[in-house]
């Protein structure tokens, strides 16, 4: 029988909550053909529909600006196509691998580079996990496996269990990290069964959430976060610096405080990757540095995310050079 969260996910993917979005005067049907709008009921409820500049609405609403293509942006801005060790497994950095465990998400964020990366085709489906496990077994320097996507929490608990049992059996794998937006946008996913699986893991557990604005931290989301904390996850957050969403020091300082108040430490603040059809989200580097300096002056060091950019071919994310 389908669980509550599985019903919610199905409804989101089917477009059950799109009506509200479509009513917006700036909704663009053409933009929605480029990248299907997907949104959860939770997010619909969090949007202030009276405010056309609502920071949540901006992240999920197909907008006419997406039809503009400029020649600076690329389809694969971070070079992931070339870094695939085997299908669905990206081994770009030492010590850790990224497994594209799922091709779908519970929401489609308009600025995401997933809008061009063919995840539906290139994720590692369950029947290919053995090849993934073999690769990780053979590479003794891999101590951490990152489940990413898409969103790995779209996988069933049964699938997660199967995968984690295989990872548990590899001596040199010490840490399982999950990159997910789902605890915040569809908190019903963090149910008893998921928490039981989490507690049963014989690995260090890290979850990196993706929150861009404190408005996303609903009561439901905070409850889910508390449960994750109790289940033993180290909780971190990554944000993307987005024009019209969170491009002010005040907004990001508030986010850091709200996250910390709920047991989550800021991890990364990503400069926007030049993704085609989303360049209206770009904040230029000079402005980014200006915002970041203000954050640095006002935030305790541990509440300051690292300002990074992903560059194709680099051995790690690149720290933005504050001297420039």
Instruction: Give bridge partners of residue 206 from the DSSP assignment.
Output: 177, 234
Is 71 strand, coil or helix? coil
User: Residue 173 Cβ, how far from ligand PLP at the closest point, in Å?
Assistant: 14
Q: Is residue 90 part of the contact set for ligand PLP (CB under 6 A)?
A: yes
Backbone torsion region of residue 21, taken as left when φ is above 0, otherwise alpha when ψ lies between -120 and 50, otherwise beta:
alpha
Nearer to ligand PLP, 18 or 136 (CB): 136
Tell me the number of residues near ligand PLP by CB under 6 A.
8
Q: Is residue 210 part of the contact set for ligand SF4 (CB under 6 A)?
A: yes
What is the C-alpha separation between 37 and 31, in angstroms, rounded?
9
Give the footprint of ligand SF4 on residues 169-188 (CB under 6 A): 181
Nearer to ligand PLP, 139 or 161 (CB): 139
What is the C-alpha separation between 160 and 156, in angstroms, rounded?
6
Residue with tokens 């480029």: 34
Nearer to ligand PLP, 63 or 317 (CB): 317
Answer with the entry of ligand PLP, ligand SF4, none that 114 interacts with (C-beta below 5 to 8 A by kind): ligand SF4
Burial of residue 272, with CB atoms counted within 10 A of its CB: 0-12 exposed, 13-18 middle, 19 or more buried: buried
Q: Is residue 98 part of the contact set for ligand PLP (CB under 6 A)?
A: yes
Half-sphere exposure of residue 321, counting CA atoms within 13 Å on the CB side? 2
What is the C-alpha separation between 197 and 189, in angstroms, rounded?
12
- Structure tokens belonging to residue 59: 């992240």
Burial of residue 203, with CB atoms counted within 10 A of its CB: 0-12 exposed, 13-18 middle, 19 or more buried: middle
Nearer to ligand PLP, 90 or 282 (CB): 90
Q: Which region among 7-15, 101-109, 124-132, 300-308 touches ligand SF4 (by CB under 6 A)?
A: 101-109
Query: Applying CB under 6 A, which of residues 112, 142, 211, 288 lies at the interface with ligand SF4?
Result: 112
User: Residue 143 Cβ, how far from ligand PLP at the closest point, in Å?
Assistant: 11
Nearer to ligand SF4, 209 or 320 (CB): 209
Rule CB under 6 A: which residues touch ligand PLP?
A: 90, 92-93, 96, 98, 146, 316-317
Binding interface with ligand SF4 (CB under 6 A):
105, 107-109, 112, 114, 149, 151, 181, 210
């Amino acid at each position: 029988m389908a669980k509550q969260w599985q019903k919610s996910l199905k409804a989101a993917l089917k477009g059950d909550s799109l009506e509200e979005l479509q009513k917006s005067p700036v909704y663009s049907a053409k933009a929605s053909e480029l990248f299907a709008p997907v949104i959860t009921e939770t997010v619909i409820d969090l949007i202030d529909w009276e405010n056309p500049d609502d920071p949540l609405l901006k992240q999920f609403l197909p907008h006419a600006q997406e039809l503009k293509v400029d020649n600076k942006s690329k389809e694969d801005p971070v070079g992931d196509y070339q870094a695939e060790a085997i299908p669905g497994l990206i081994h770009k950095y030492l010590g850790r691998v990224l497994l594209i465990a799922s091709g779908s998400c519970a929401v489609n964020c308009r600025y995401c580079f997933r809008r061009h990366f063919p995840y539906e085709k290139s994720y590692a489906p369950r029947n290919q996990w053995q090849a993934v496990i073999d690769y990780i077994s053979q590479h003794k320097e891999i101590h951490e496996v990152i489940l990413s996507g898409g969103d790995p929490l779209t996988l069933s608990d049964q699938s997660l269990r199967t995968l984690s049992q295989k990872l548990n059996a590899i001596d040199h794998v010490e840490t399982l990290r999950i990159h997910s937006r789902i605890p915040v946008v569809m908190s019903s996913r963090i149910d008893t069964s998921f928490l039981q699986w989490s507690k049963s893991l014989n690995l260090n557990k890290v979850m990196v959430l993706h929150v861009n604005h404190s408005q996303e931290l609903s009561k439901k989301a905070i409850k889910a976060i508390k449960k994750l904390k109790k289940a033993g996850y180290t909780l971190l957050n990554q944000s993307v610096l987005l024009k019209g969403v969170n491009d002010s020091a005040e907004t990001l300082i508030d986010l850091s405080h709200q996250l910390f108040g709920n047991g989550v430490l800021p991890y990364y603040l990503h400069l926007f990757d030049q993704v085609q059809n989303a360049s209206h989200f770009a904040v230029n580097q000079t402005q980014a540095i200006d915002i970041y300096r203000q954050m640095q002056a006002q935030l305790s060091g541990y509440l300051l995310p690292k300002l990074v950019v992903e560059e194709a071919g680099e051995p790690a994310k690149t720290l933005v050079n504050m001297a420039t």
